[in-house]
Structure 1
Amino acid sequence: MNLFRVALAAAALTFTSASAALAQAPATTAATSGPLKIGYTSVEYVLSQMPESRQIESDLKAFSTQLENQLKSKYQEYQTKAEAYQKGGAAMAEAVRADKEKELTNLQQSIQEFQRSADQSLQQKQQTLLKPALDKLQKTIDVVAEENGYTYVLNSDGASPVLLHGPKEGDISDLVLKKMGVTPGAAPAAPKAAAPAAAPATPAASKTKTKTKK
């Protein structure tokens, strides 16, 4: 699954959580204001059809590539110094050898910390890029629901979707797209982001050390 689909799935889950609360709300208010009418939509589908999706995917791919290149640079530095240590470690003075081992250990820790930080940064970037599109989607859903008399609108996405069954006429996804000026299914699919190369595994500390002579 590429980064963009992961981001869409995460956004869909956000909507699913909100929809779950609505789905459990008592229907007593509907009894007093009119018949209960429930619609549903696929947030992931609508987001993927919106013109903003192409730019979001491009920006997300560029940011991911930037993080990946930084990680590769750190790993290459580690490899270079580890190889130099392996070749000359036995001939080093005790103090120099200890200093080199400490440097390699610090580089390992730096790589691991960067990997954790990069994951968090990527998640934050996803949220930042998706927020304007999600805000636009929410406002459009509100308008479509009011215009078509829907009391609740649920999200049909997610591993555990709120919607378990519903008639086709209850699906307002295309109505939402048309309200935003998007022809459902007509827009060309956004280019798929190349799957990021797997982050290089951080070498075990034991591989960088030789036994010191007693």
Structure 2
Amino acid sequence: MNKIKTLVAAFLLISFASFAQTNDQAVKIGFANVEEILSKMPERTAMQKELETYGQKLQEQFASKENEYNTKLQAYQKGATTMDKVVREDKERELVNLEQSIQKFQYDAQMSLREKEQSLIQPVLVKIENAIKEVAKENGYLYILSEQAILEGPDSGNINNLVFKKLGVDPAKQPAAAQQTQPQQQKPAAKPAATTPAKKKK
């Protein structure tokens, strides 16, 4: 999923100040890889399938609009020289409106696809966040950092396996993150040919 890094940015630092230890105790800090955990959640497969299905429907609607435009453009180009001025100008306005409609639909579809992806991922991220908080509380961690923010540290600080256990997920049974299928993206609309009025014969 191409927006996962953006969506998990809010989880870079989770503070558990309410579980602070006394001053004479060492501060216990752990770290987790939220992207890795998310990539192995059982919900991921259904989430990707739903996103791909949604994207395909948008793509089909886009293709239908594009085909309508191309058909009307070809008809205009074929008959423009024999059309009355009023009819020709009406056809030109129609083509311009269709072109603008296609461009707007493409933009709206891309935004809708992003919003759909966020709406599917967010509940899973909340579930992961809650599990991290519970693991931190149960194991005495004062802070849980994102693994991406750790430059150096002991492997013992990694709480991923504890989070998987809390979530009831066996990471060995889930596909690797690198095998994720990317949702189908809207193809860029080729700019339709300019619709210029046919020159009158002298």
If the length of structure 2 is used for normalisation, what is the TM-score?
Answer: 0.86
Aligned to 1:81: 72
| 1:111 maps to which of 74, 90, 102 | 102
Q: Gapped runs of 5+ residues in structure 2? A: none
Shift of 1:31: 6.4
Which residues of 2 match residues 122-133 of structure 1 at below 5 A? 122-133=113-124
Aligned to 1:6: 2
Q: Deviations over 1:72-96 (max 9, x none)?
A: 1111111111111111112111111
Find the residue that maps to 1:40 and give its secondary structure.
strand
| 2:133 maps to which of 142, 146, 162 | 142
| 2:32 maps to which of 16, 24, 41 | 41
Q: Gapped runs of 5+ residues in structure 1? A: none
Aligned to 2:62: 71
Structure 1 residue 201 corresponds to structure 2 residue 197: no
The structure-2 alpha-carbon separation of the partners of 1:92 and 1:175, relative to structure 1 and needing over 3 Å to count, comes to same
If the length of structure 1 is used for normalisation, what is the TM-score?
Answer: 0.81
Higher radius of gyration, 1 or 2 = 2
Contact 1:12/1:155 (<8 A) preserved: no
Find the residue that maps to 1:154 and give its secondary structure.
strand
Find the residue that maps to 2:173 and give its secondary structure.
coil
Structure 1 residue 163 corresponds to structure 2 residue 166: no
Contact 2:47/2:120 (<8 A) preserved: yes
| 1:172 maps to which of 139, 153, 159 | 159
Aligned to 2:45: 54
Distance in 1, Cα, partners of 2:103 & 2:27? 53
The structure-2 alpha-carbon separation of the partners of 1:178 and 1:97, relative to structure 1 and needing over 3 Å to count, comes to same
RMSD: 2.5
Over 6 Å off, 4+ runs: none
